[in-house]
Amino acid sequence: MWTRPRRPQRKHLTREQIVTAAIELLDAQGVAALSMRNLGTRLDAAATSLYRHVANKDELIELVVDEVFGELDVPATADATPWREAVARTATDLREMTLRHPWIAPELGQVGLVHIGPNAMRMSSGLLARFEAAGFPAKEKDQAVGTLTAYVIGIATSEAAYLSLITRSGKTEQQWVADLRPAFDEAARNHSGFRGGTSAHQATHPRQIRDADFAYGLDRVLDGLTARLGAPS
């Protein structure tokens, strides 16, 4: 679909408008609500008119996923920024992108980052350039990028599912965690490894805990990748 010639646009309806409206619908109601009929209603257009621009729902998902990847600012070539700092920033931005659009997490979880849209390719190319500039051998830089993105998408998918559950409850994250804490503490009473778990952090906002956990894991992944520099293949 990235190379297929576009059909002539009808007045007041473009592929860009369709993609934008689809993202708005997904952000508001999730993947279950996305259909050509619902999208047509949102655009005040017949569902059949959408098919002039998008072949089917699967193709639409590919388009909206790549549009969201466009939110990431990843330079195509490495600059003077230390490689680890630059890679950590991209990893953090990728997680934030996923949490802004939690519906995207299952899509990435199903196929990883095997997307060939221009924005997804730009992100992957930028990461490859960083790892190459850092000194990773050509045959290993793909694996390094894959290891990094697998960590980010894995933890972001879990977070997105957790936050979606909280949203459906109608509570804030702080309220949800506070309500769960007594039950957790009771369940952990006979398990010494858990003692002082959630209660020890009850004054800390749950988002801060999630951010710290993500940063810890990211640092350990990057520690491992850093150790590979100069190591025998």
Residue 60 domain flag: yes
**Which CATH number do you get for residue 59?**
1.10.10.60
Residue 182 domain flag: no
187 or 174, which is more confident: 174
Q: In this predicted structure, what is the pLDDT of residue 71?
A: 95
Q: In this predicted structure, what is the pLDDT of residue 114?
A: 59
With contact defined as beta carbons under 8 Å apart, do 98 and 108 qualify?
A: yes
Tell me, yes or no, whether 60 and 108 share the same domain. Answer: no
Alpha-carbon gap, residue 107 to 223, rounded angstroms: 28
Q: Write the DSSP string, 163-204.
A: HHHHHHHTS-HHHHHHHHHHHHHHHTTT-GGGTTSTGGGTTS
Give residue 116's domain range: 83-170+203-228
Per residue in 45-104, pLDDT tens? 998 889 989 999 989 999 999 999 999 998 877 788 899 999 999 999 999 999 999 999
Half-sphere exposure of residue 27, counting CA atoms within 13 Å on the CB side?
Answer: 14
Residue 106 domain flag: yes
Residue 183 domain flag: no
180 or 110, which is more confident: 180
Tell me, yes or no, whether 57 and 144 share the same domain. Answer: no
| Reported pTM | 0.85
pLDDT band of 191, cuts 50, 70, 90? confident
Q: Which long-range contacts (CB under 8 A, 24 or more apart) does 124-131 make?
A: 125/76, 126/74, 126/75, 126/76, 126/77, 126/90, 127/74, 127/87, 127/90, 129/75, 129/76, 129/77, 129/78, 130/78, 130/83, 130/86, 130/87, 130/90, 131/83, 131/87
With contact defined as beta carbons under 8 Å apart, do 60 and 22 qualify?
A: yes
Tell me, yes or no, whether 216 and 127 share the same domain. Answer: yes
Tell me, yes or no, whether 148 and 51 share the same domain. Answer: no
Tell me, yes or no, whether 61 and 90 share the same domain. Answer: no
Per residue in 19-28, pLDDT tens? 999 999 999 9
Mean pLDDT of the chain: 87
**Once rounded to an integer, what is the mean pLDDT over residues 209-222?**
97
Residue 198 domain flag: no
pLDDT band of 162, cuts 50, 70, 90? very high
**Which CATH number do you get for residue 158?**
1.10.357.10
pLDDT band of 230, cuts 50, 70, 90? confident
Tell me, yes or no, whether 57 and 103 share the same domain. Answer: no
Tell me, yes or no, whether 156 and 208 share the same domain. Answer: yes
Number of domains in the chain: 2
Tell me, yes or no, whether 138 and 220 share the same domain. Answer: yes
The lowest-confidence range among 8-17, 171-180, 205-214 is 8-17
